[in-house]
């Protein structure tokens, strides 16, 4: 049976580059034969002009979201800037069991909830290099109204103030370097001793078997 996949939570202020960095990291991992999935969240927020239902988010109304939350369909959910956002168990659990890594692009309250139900999830905080760069990226993305951008910049300060609780800090200045760092974290996490135990067990068994055979052969000669 495949070892379980790793759940990698990527948080940052909105516009910090989570979507961009995760998409590139998944392509790079695929080149190395490591399957990884970008979890598609549910939200009550209205779609942005370029967003597609089912690809960027599952868009739904508040009563439907609340019914899903009441029936424990979510691994985590949170309210952000007046809208509800949640990760469904269906997006994540079966994939992890199959050995696929799963990336979550979520805000900090949700990240903490996930850690309680999946303690070996890895928490990565992506920092924008500065306030000015974040503001510029939010404007350049041309997807949010000025009021939504203002709200996101205020929220950013709260998010930065809890970033110290994360496992890894990556500054998203040069995109390639940020992607390298996320891929590096993912590869290193695959080699944690706790995740390697069953592989090591197989190697030790093979080693013992081969050693015994080798010396059994010697013993019959002497």
Residue closer to ligand 5GP by CB (options 117, 208) is: 117
Applying CB under 6 A, among 28, 48, 137, 190 the residue interacting with ligand ADP is 137
The rounded distance, in Å, linking the Cα atoms of 124 and 184 is 12
88 binds, among ligand 5GP, ligand ADP, none (CB under 5 to 8 A by kind): none
Q: Considering only the stretches 7-15, 53-61, 64-72, 197-205, report the one whose residues sit in contact with ligand ADP under the rule CB under 6 A.
A: 7-15
Residue closer to ligand 5GP by CB (options 116, 220) is: 116
> What are the residues facing 74 on neighbouring strands?
88
Which strand (E) or helix (H) includes residue 171?
strand 168-171
Residue closer to ligand ADP by CB (options 20, 112) is: 20
Q: Considering only the stretches 10-18, 96-104, 157-165, 192-200, report the one whose residues sit in contact with ligand ADP under the rule CB under 6 A.
A: 10-18
Show the beta-strand stretches assigned E in 115-167.
122-127
Question: Do the Cβ atoms of 33 and 24 come closer than 8 Å?
Answer: no
Give CA separation, 179 vs 92, 148, 191, in Å.
22, 27, 19
Question: Do the Cβ atoms of 188 and 8 come closer than 8 Å?
Answer: no
137 binds, among ligand ADP, ligand 5GP, none (CB under 5 to 8 A by kind): ligand ADP
Applying CB under 6 A, among 6, 9, 12, 160 the residue interacting with ligand ADP is 12
Residue number of the CB atom closest to ligand 5GP: 110
The rounded distance, in Å, linking the Cα atoms of 11 and 196 is 27
The rounded distance, in Å, linking the Cα atoms of 144 and 137 is 11
Contacts of 74 (CB under 8 A, 6+ apart): 42, 68, 86, 87, 88, 89
The rounded distance, in Å, linking the Cα atoms of 25 and 29 is 6
Least gap, CB of 138 to ligand 5GP (angstroms): 9
Binding site for ligand ADP (CB under 6 A): 12, 14-20, 105, 137, 140-141, 172, 175, 178
Interacting residue ranges for ligand 5GP, rule: CB under 6 A: 14, 18, 41, 45, 76-78, 80, 85-87, 105-107, 109-110
């Amino acid at each position: 049976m495949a070892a379980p996949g790793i759940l990698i939570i990527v948080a940052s202020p909105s516009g910090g580059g989570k979507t961009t960095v995760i998409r590139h990291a998944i392509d790079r991992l695929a080149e190395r034969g490591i399957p990884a999935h970008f979890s598609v969240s549910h939200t009550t927020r209205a779609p942005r002009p370029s967003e597609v239902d089912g690809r960027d988010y599952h868009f739904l109304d508040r009563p439907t979201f609340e019914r899903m939350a009441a029936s424990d369909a979510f691994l985590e959910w949170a309210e952000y800037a007046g809208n509800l956002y949640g990760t469904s168990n269906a997006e994540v659990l079966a994939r992890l069991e199959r050995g696929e890594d799963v990336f979550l692009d979520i805000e900090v309250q949700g990240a903490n909830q996930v850690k309680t139900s999946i303690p070996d999830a890895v928490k990565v905080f992506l920092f924008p290099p500065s306030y000015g760069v974040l503001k510029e990226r939010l404007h350049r993305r041309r997807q949010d109204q000025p009021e939504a951008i203002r709200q996101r910049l205020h929220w950013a300060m709260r998010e930065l103030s809890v970033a110290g609780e994360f496992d890894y800090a990556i500054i998203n200045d040069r995109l390639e370097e940020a992607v390298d760092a996320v891929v590096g974290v993912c590869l290193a996490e695959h080699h944690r001793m706790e995740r390697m135990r069953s592989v090591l067990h197989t190697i030790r068994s093979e080693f013992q078997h081969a050693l015994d055979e080798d010396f059994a052969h010697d013993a019959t000669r002497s």
